[in-house]
Amino acid sequence: MTDTQARSRYTSPSGIDRDALPWRLWEKAKKLFWDPSDLDFSKDKADWDAMSEETRAMMILGARGFMVGEEAVTLDILPLVRAISDEGRLEETVFLTSFVLEEAKHVDFFRTWFDAVGADPSSLPGLGGYGDGNGGGGAADIFAGELERVMRRLDNDRSPEAFLDAGITYNQFIEGVAAIAGYKGWAKFLEANGNPFPAFQEGLALVQRDERRHIAYGTYLCRRVLAAHPELWSFVEQRWAYLTKPYLENRVAGRGRYVQALIDRRLEVLRGALDLSVQEVEDTTLEDLEATNELVAS
């Protein structure tokens, strides 16, 4: 590599684009930093000790499902970071460093909670697949092979389809549908049990705030690729059906409509990019994109 090549590789000639959506997400990530170690779990421990065995078992299954999901996305995110950095996308790579740290932090948070209350996540058989405590559903092997396959595809395949596959599976489906449906179920469960575990609830709210940025980034990524390659829309529809149909069929009664709304919303937001140029996608404001996450908070 010559000196000139080295300079162009490592020094962005235009500096940092501070208005770029990934950079704005990075700024938010810095401002909204939190540490699971700062949470006070003493009331959670007292709540746990006062809880029936049956409720404890449900709590273990639910929290373990979330933890399994966070461990999986932490272990499988790195190929995306490498693929984006290889394209020289500085602002995106900088944001992704916060993304990786936050997924690791989420693992830390759930494991810290188990340790603080003295619960053993391996004390019950089976593994909750989607992180919502319902033991998975169709495409139930998402954390046992499918996510890893899709993310590792980027190690050898930098095609637009490979980036889309990663964004659809990781950000749109796991973060944008399965995790959010899980939070909703979780809120109902806690409410039905007298709203215990204040530190757990506080941490879960902070996790959701982080996830909004992750989903916003993944949506930006998919829309950027789709604006440049609208011919890949049939691939998107096919992958979306593969991931969501069996999942929806396994939803517990009463949450099907909410999950369907999440599923429809994510696809609609991606479809919107088909009418846009790449520049128009780049110019989409963070506020516009975060508004597409309105169901996250509801």
Question: Where does this chain bind Fe ion (CB under 5 A)?
Answer: 70, 103, 106, 175, 211, 214
Q: Which is closer to Fe ion, CB of 44 or CB of 211?
A: 211
Q: Could you tell me the smallest distance in angstroms from the CB atom of residue 289 to Fe ion?
A: 15
∠ CA 15-20-24, rounded to 5°: 105
Q: Could you tell me the smallest distance in angstroms from the CB atom of residue 62 to Fe ion?
A: 15
Q: Could you tell me the smallest distance in angstroms from the CB atom of residue 106 to Fe ion?
A: 4
Q: Could you tell me the smallest distance in angstroms from the CB atom of residue 150 to Fe ion?
A: 15
Q: Which is closer to Fe ion, CB of 19 or CB of 35?
A: 35
Virtual torsion, Cα 179, 267, 280, 171, nearest 10 deg: 20
Q: Which is closer to Fe ion, CB of 24 or CB of 214?
A: 214
Exposure on the CB side of residue 117, measured as CA atoms within 13 A? 27
CA dist list (Å): 172 to 15, 72, 199: 30, 15, 28
Q: Could you tell me the smallest distance in angstroms from the CB atom of residue 202 to Fe ion?
A: 16
Token digits of residue 235: 């691939």
User: Which bin fits 40, alpha (ψ -120 to 50), beta or left (φ > 0)?
Assistant: beta
Q: Which is closer to Fe ion, CB of 47 or CB of 92?
A: 92
Buried b (16+ CB within 10 A) or exposed e, 89-102: bbbbbbbbebbeeb
Q: Which is closer to Fe ion, CB of 165 or CB of 175?
A: 175
